[in-house]
Homo-oligomer: A and B are copies of this chain.
């Protein structure tokens, strides 16, 4: 737990909203800042959800646009690549096709970049902890190599050393499945109906992309009938 203040890497999805609720429950909303990064994703609904939820939790929200950095990427998540279809399969099925390479929704080194930006903000604001909603399902296979334990460990060391010991990453859910994250969130009173996960940029969740499927399963495992 942080002494000085926490910065939560916050997308408005299930995992990072649970991390935000945890930080607020530990420290009070005045010591917590949420950082929401847009990167040219199709799902700008995420950003609307981040705004609603930061108001709900009464925390300061910093918004940052890093889409410029991904302008050469062919990732299917990016709005500019509107011809690229987002896979309608579970991650396990997608990984069979990629032969262990990252899936088409991998955004190049996104988490490394977001955590580095969070470290810069945290140090400027005098916060000593970055909260990050990584959990064990994300790291399965090699779908998202920037969610792996090897990545998380090295990035944590890089941030601790590179800030002269001023900032640490804390990933409280790293040993949990998404269903277990939701179980914790239910205990913390997270309003999951306000969160947004779908990769498609429509008004309603598509219910068939990998992230819609995963989210639905985690809710059902906790007796929540939500999409």
Which A residues lie at the B interface, using CB under 8 A? Answer: 64-65, 68-74, 101-102, 106-113, 115-117, 119-121, 123-125, 142, 145-146, 148, 150-151, 154-155, 157-159, 161-165, 167
Return the chain B residue nearest A163 by Cβ.
B109
- Contact yes or no, B146 A108, CB < 8 A: no
- Contact yes or no, A113 B117, CB < 8 A: yes
Number of copies: 2
User: Given that A108-B119, A154-B157, A157-B150 are known contacts, is A145 also in contact with B125, CB under 8 Å in the complex?
Assistant: no
Min C-beta distance of A39 to chain B, whole Å = 9
- Contact yes or no, A120 B124, CB < 8 A: no
- Contact yes or no, B162 A121, CB < 8 A: no
State the CA gap A163–B104 with chains docked (Å).
13
Min C-beta distance of A154 to chain B, whole Å = 4
Min C-beta distance of A36 to chain B, whole Å = 13
